[in-house]
Amino acid sequence: MSLATPARSLPPRARRLTRRHLAPYVFVAPFIALFAAFSVYPMIFTLRLSFTDWRGSGAARWVGWDNYTYLLGSGAFWSSLGNSAVLWLLVVPAQIVLALTVAVVLNNARLRMRGLYRVAYLVPFVTPLVAVAQIWVVLFDQNYGAVNRLLSLVGLPDIGWLTTTTWAKPTLALLFIWKTTGFIVVILLSGLQSLDASLYEAAEIDGAGTLRKLWSLTVPLIRRTLAFAAVMQTLAVFQMFAEPFVVTDGGPYNSTTTAGFYLYKHINQADLGTGAANSFLLVVVVMALSLLFVRLLRTED
């Protein structure tokens, strides 16, 4: 009898225990199912496709590494990477410096209208990219655009923003910086708000000026946030597609055919095997760059 009492109370508790063991599977199952179907499965499919010659119909022919060697030996592939690299150089350093400056100035608790600034800076970010791209087409038109009209007011000559190889990339870079800097500001603000004010007081007592504090305290302390922002923007620049698609159609003379746009061209021409191989080469580049940032900003410890 003395054994029977705990035995009777055991079943419900055991049931609860199993339920607790089963619960996480039930919670993650719908997510994992959709994720497996529409992310993992297509990824494995792409990998297999990248070793075949396939035009979207009929049987795929296994070609081994041919697609990869073709791309690695192709001028168009390297020039698409080069275009993205130039855009990266034009965008990311300038954007991080600008966003950090804005975030540091905005982080002052005594500053009035902080809320207004934060909201206004995010307007470009919430504006649909396709809409922005179209505004750019109109604003930067060589003959009728408001930008050249502004320049002529101060006596500068017309510039072929979207029609010359010199200016097409900077114009796209400007679009990208305009569109996303507000979001980076908010990300950096989150890093700044976690900092300890007493460190700054100590630095001030030691006679550190504004720039000195920024470089020796702020930047090292939020470097993980900076790395996160840099990695996010690197991924975004190398995947850039809608901007060249809408604004320049990859031109003039392929000068804005970015890595992302070049990838789209394979799909558009139903050259799917090459496109898949191109995808994975792009993955390698992006991952290498991301890891580089993570390393660069971590080894300072």
Partner 1 sequence: MRNRAVAAHLFLGAVLLLSLAPVVWAVVSAFKPAAEIVADPLGLDPATLTLENYRRVFDDVPLLSGFLNTAVVLVSKGTLTLLLAPLAAFGFAKYRFPGRGLLFGTVLVTLMLPTIVLIIPLLLQMKELGWVNTYQALILPGAVDAFAIFWMRQVIAEIPDELLDAARIDGCGEFGIFARVIMPLIRPALAGLGVLTVMNIYNDFVWPVVVANSERMATLQVVLSTLAQNITGNRIGADYATVTGELLAATSIALLPLVAVFVALQRHFVSGILAGSVKG
3-state SS record for the chain: CCCHHHHHHHHHHHHHHHHHHHHHHHHHHHHHHHHHHHHHHHHHHHHHHCCEECCCCCCCEECCCHHHHHHHCCHHHHHHHHHHHHHHHHHHHHHHHHHHHHHHHHCCCCCCCHHHHHHHHHHHHHCCHHHHHHHHHHHCCCCCCHHHHHHHHCCCCCCCCCCCHHHHHHHHHHHHHHHHHHHHHHHHHHHHCCCCHHHHHHHHHCCCCHHHHHHHHHHHHCHHHHHHHHHHHHHHHHHCCHHHHHHHCCCCCCCCCCHHHHHHHHHHCCCHHHHHHHHHHHHHHHHHHHHHHHHHHHCCC
The β-bridge partners of 62 are 52
The one among 10, 17, 40, 89 contacting partner 1 by CB under 8 A: 40
Specify the stretch interacting with partner 1 by CB under 8 A; choose among 25-33, 70-78, 82-90, 199-207.
Answer: 25-33
- Mask: binding to partner 1, 240-259, rule CB under 8 A, as x and -? -xx--xx--x----------
CB of 135 to partner 1, least distance (A): 5
**135 touching partner 1, by CB under 8 A:** yes
89 vs 146 by CB, closer to partner 1: 146
131 vs 156 by CB, closer to partner 1: 131
The one among 18, 45, 72, 76 contacting partner 1 by CB under 8 A: 45
Comparing CA positions, the residue from 184, 176, 177 lying closest to residue 246 is 176
**203 touching partner 1, by CB under 8 A:** no
63 vs 282 by CB, closer to partner 1: 282
**276 touching partner 1, by CB under 8 A:** yes
**221 touching partner 1, by CB under 8 A:** yes
The one among 14, 38, 62, 69 contacting partner 1 by CB under 8 A: 38
The C-alpha angle with vertex 247 and arms to 244 and 250, in degrees rounded to 5, equals 40
3 vs 25 by CB, closer to partner 1: 25
- Mask: binding to partner 1, 83-122, rule CB under 8 A, as x and -? ---------------x--xx--xx-x-xxxx--xxxxxxx
**72 touching partner 1, by CB under 8 A:** no
The one among 82, 124, 170, 252 contacting partner 1 by CB under 8 A: 124
The one among 15, 224, 295, 298 contacting partner 1 by CB under 8 A: 224
**182 touching partner 1, by CB under 8 A:** yes
82 vs 251 by CB, closer to partner 1: 251
Tokens of 226: 């900076």
**238 touching partner 1, by CB under 8 A:** yes
